[in-house]
Amino acid sequence: MKRPPQSEVVRAARGSDVLSEMAPFNALYLPLSETATLGATTTVDHYPDEDRAWYVSKVYITTTANTTAKLKIKCDNDGVLSDVEATVPAATTALEIDLKAEYGMPLRVVQLTAEYVNAGLADENQTLIIKGVEVIERW
């Protein structure tokens, strides 16, 4: 089966060390650092490249059995910065935050911050999936 042509999102994602391609196309997969010790907190910030902007319609965040998370999305709405925040309980398989449904349009995201708190002793791999992303040149 022939693969469809790569989207602008996939090409843009390949240029960053924290982004890697993940199906379906038009999604960004952000692997987060492991949290290795009891009570440790890992905070990871993600920014679009300087000459790019992310227009995000949905965010999915997953936690493991021992981990809770806080997600902050800093948005730029015509020059006005605002935050969208969510608390994610442990063992959440995919919390969906539908920004387009909530605000009537995808939001221009300038920063994503995920803070994970580990209550277990073992390493925990966390994921944050940003779907419906349109990556465009900044004007």
CA 30 to chain centre: 6
23 is a domain residue: no
10 is a domain residue: no
If 0-12 CB within 10 Å is exposed, 13-18 middle and 19+ buried, where does residue 30 land?
buried
- Residue 61, both tokens: 């965040």
Range of the domain at 64: 32-137
**Which has the closest alpha carbon to 43: 125, 109, 114?**
114
Q: For residue 98, what is the domain's CATH number?
A: 2.60.120
51 is a domain residue: yes
Other Cβ atoms within 10 Å of 86 Cβ, number? 13
127 is a domain residue: yes
Average pLDDT over residues 1-5: 39
pLDDT of residue 67: 79
User: Tens digit of pLDDT for each residue in 21-60?
Assistant: 333 334 555 555 555 566 667 666 666 766 666 777 777 7
The CA-CA-CA angle for residues 16, 21, 23, to 5°, reads 155
Residue with tokens 């982004």: 19
pTM confidence score: 0.58
100 is a domain residue: yes
Q: How does the average pLDDT of the chain come out, rounded?
A: 65
- Residue 109, both tokens: 């995201």
Tally the domains of the chain: 1
21 is a domain residue: no
7 is a domain residue: no
72 is a domain residue: yes
Are the beta carbons of 71 and 85 closer than 8 angstroms?
Answer: yes
